[in-house]
Amino acid sequence: MQYDYDLFVIGAGSGGVRAARVAAGHGAKVAIAEDYRIGGTCVIRGCVPKKLLVYGAHFAEDLHDARCFGWQVQQLSFDWATLRDNVLAEVTRLSGLYTQTLVNHKVECFNGHAVLSGPNTVQVGDQQVTARTILIASGARPQVPRLPGCEHGITSNEVFHLEALPKRVVITGGGYIANEFAGIFNEFGAHVTLINRSDQILRGYDQQIRDRLLQISTAKGIQFVFNTGLESVARQANGTLAVHLSGGTTLECDVLLFATGRVPNTQGLRLESAGVEVDAQGAIRVDADSRSSCPSIYAVGDVTNRVQLTPVAIREGQAFADTVFGNKPTRVDYQCIPSAVFSHPPLAGVGMTEAQARDKLGEVKIYTADFRPMKNVLANRNERALYKLIVDAANERIVGAHMIGPDAPEILQVMAVAVKAGLRKSQLDDCVAIHPTMAEELVLLK
């Protein structure tokens, strides 16, 4: 049968764009559909603009600390609109670069909502096209809890477009999005309250590291309310929000941010028309090659809910294109994926936590460095960094690395190579330190 395209991609985020570009590079005739802006969550309303806000927020501490280094910084003031508009302009620039990349690789772009109408057929608006292979890379969206008045809250999608900087922010959730925006708004001078149903933040990260973040965040003035849920939200006559909690308490705020997880974007794709199966969370079920229950349809990225990280979606898109169109069978290795939380200060981890290692390996050795970075000492900032290595006692292999402190994600990226490669603690010890740095602590751990 003759098809309009060799590959049709639904969703132009990180995974979809990579798959489209690489498949086109292998000689396939490719089209891609996007109903919002090319770039997806990461570029448009996620990692990139969030990290720029993190940079902007950190100047609050840097400018304060500068006085201890001899700089006379007078009349400090912050203009939210300037940062917001500069960040949105950068997002527009990056979206344009992604679009240009697709055009340069002769990928045809459809601006509209695409749905399936069969195993090899896609409908975009009133236009129907056929493709030998279809890739669904439609990502995920913030989950908004169903409760009275939930429409008064916002999600991470809207936070980048706020008209004014709120004085009081309530954030519900305990994951990375909740803690990152708690740090951002706190640095901008807002009073931040974080509400969490459980008694833990950042499940999945090493307990010592997240305990340290909780301690530092509390010292910075962020308020945490644990074992509590939201009951309802109401807009008051003066324009503020009344947030009613399960314990009977009511909080007043200017902005309520829902950061309670993300759900795969599969609703309305008409997956049933092609027999594409989803799991209980609505994520597309795929095999190790990202193929769905329909042989001609594949899926990568957050819509599969395997690991919701941009670099993973990119790897999955690359592996799909190389396997299906490049005659280079490739599968993604999901072991030892590093991740970071761009809180204040940031934290990062790779491999097993201490609890996981003790459970799986039995006997382990724990090496830590708990220190005050040199810059913090001179700035009279009582904020300590914590580095931690988990070592298999049987063979001295490093099975986990976790840290919190300035530039922790930058430092951990290289440590992730060591953990992934299966290096031993003695090989770190053999490395000469670069002094004075924070990273040298990793080769001096006792």
Active-site position among 58, 105, 113, 435: 435
Instruction: Please tell me the distance from the alpha carbon of residue 240 to that of residue 234, in angstroms, as a whole number.
Output: 9
Residue 320 near residue 135 (C-beta atoms within 8 A):
yes
The H or E element spanning position 410 is: helix 408-421
Give the SS3 label for residue 434: coil
Q: How far is CA 134 from the centre of its chain?
A: 26
Contact 187, 58 (CB under 8 A): yes
Is position 435 annotated as part of the catalytic site? yes
User: Given its phi and psi angles, is residue 228 left (phi above 0), alpha (psi -120 to 50 degrees) or beta?
Assistant: beta
The contacts of residue 420 (CB under 8 Å, 6+ apart) are 335, 336, 350
Can the peptide bond before residue 329 be classed as cis, meaning omega within 30 degrees of 0?
A: no
- CA-to-CA dists, residue 350 to 52, 130, 264, 316, 411, angstroms: 24, 42, 25, 19, 12
What is the distance, to the nearest Å, from the Cα of residue 237 to the centroid of all Cα atoms in its chain? 36
Question: Are 242 and 236 a contacting pair, CB within 8 Å?
Answer: yes
DSSP secondary structure, 27-91, as one string = T--EEEEESS-TTHHHHHHSHHHHHHHHHHHHHHHHHHHGGGGT----S----HHHHHHHHHHHH
3-state SS track over 73-95? CCCCCCCHHHHHHHHHHHHHHHH
Longest dimension (CA), the chain: 74
**Nearest alpha-carbon partner for 339 in 307, 373, 385, 371:** 307
Count each helix (H run) and each strand (E run) in the chain, helices first: 11, 21
27's CB contacts (< 8 A; 6+ apart) are 325
Q: Could you give the residue numbers annotated as active site?
A: 435
